[in-house]
Amino acid sequence: MALLGRKKTPLTDVDVVLADLDGVVYAGAHALPHAVESLLAAGRTRRLGYITNNASRTDATVAAHLVELGLIETTARDVVTSPQAAMRLLTSRIAPGSTVLVIGGEGLVVEVERAGFTVTRSAEDSPSAVVQGFAPEVGWVHLAEAAYALATPESEGGIPWIATNTDWTIPQARGIAPGNGTLVSAVHAATHRLADVAGKPERPIFDEAVARFDAVHPLFIGDRLDTDIQGAQAAGIESALVLTGIDRPKHVLAAPLNARPTYILGDLRELDEPYPEIRTRGDVTTVRDASVRVAGADLVIESEGRRPIDLVRAAAHAIWSTGRAIYGFRVPERLYADPFHRP
């Protein structure tokens, strides 16, 4: 999606704001700066919904956490989780009431039981499927049970394997920690099988959110290009990448065509600010008073401008508009500067 500056602000004409949680609203137990007040402001005239790949907590627990942070009108109905998306896939693959081996925490167990399945933690119970999601307590013993249950490839009569998500990392208050993708990868290494994925960047979780909130013109806010932005783009939803979580300016400059946000934000205060026009004249791309020039293989900073986010926007659009990958440029170290808040 090109940054064309078509709208007065990223929120203009938006009827539903869909926000990722980790790295967008909070990191660990604590709210990120400016996130709560910005979402409250956005929610005065439009619906707020939340989409999370984190499968460790129930929708009700997540809603209670958001209420504690100040998003006081949040209910479980406002939270769309990857376990809920996983149930969409599971119900199409196995018979009602089947036994399911669950690798994960309460958030996944609750959704499996809501869908009418029987939960087991042992491969010895002959489960009809394995569903895997993140939980801090997941360890070797649990991953081994998954490997035992998945020893036979599905093409040879083995059972389905559904992962809620494959995020490699998860933002925490102390920093960036391994996510569900690392745990899924461990099972893959043991079984040589690939899981079907329900959460971002796959469509089931976005389709669930759009249907639940009757969204006509939603905006999705995320902090990761490979899950949040790629998934929103695949689902036909405009997106905003906020630099308060996983992906940094260097990742934005290198974003592939299928993972480029409609908007780039330093923090959520910019949701309701006029989004600057991206102006290109010849080889020079300008955003407000920040300018970047493409000179062959060199990316040249003409003017840093007063706001670091505008320099990121100008550099990203300059690179994207050439159709060339980031490794085709010599990029000044200054463009990788990262003054933006992160966990």
C-alpha torsion angle, residues 26, 102, 188, 126 (rounded to 10): 180
> Of 20, 223, 226, 228, which is the active-site residue?
20
Token pair for 4: 């064309």
Angle at 76 between CA 138 and CA 128, to 5 degrees: 45
Phi, psi at residue 27, to the nearest 5°?
Answer: -130, 110
Give catalytic status of residue 15 as yes or no.
no
Q: What gap in Å lies between CA 299 and CA 80, rounded to an integer?
A: 41
Give catalytic status of residue 22 as yes or no.
yes
> Of 22, 167, 226, 267, which is the active-site residue?
22
Residues designated catalytic: 20, 22
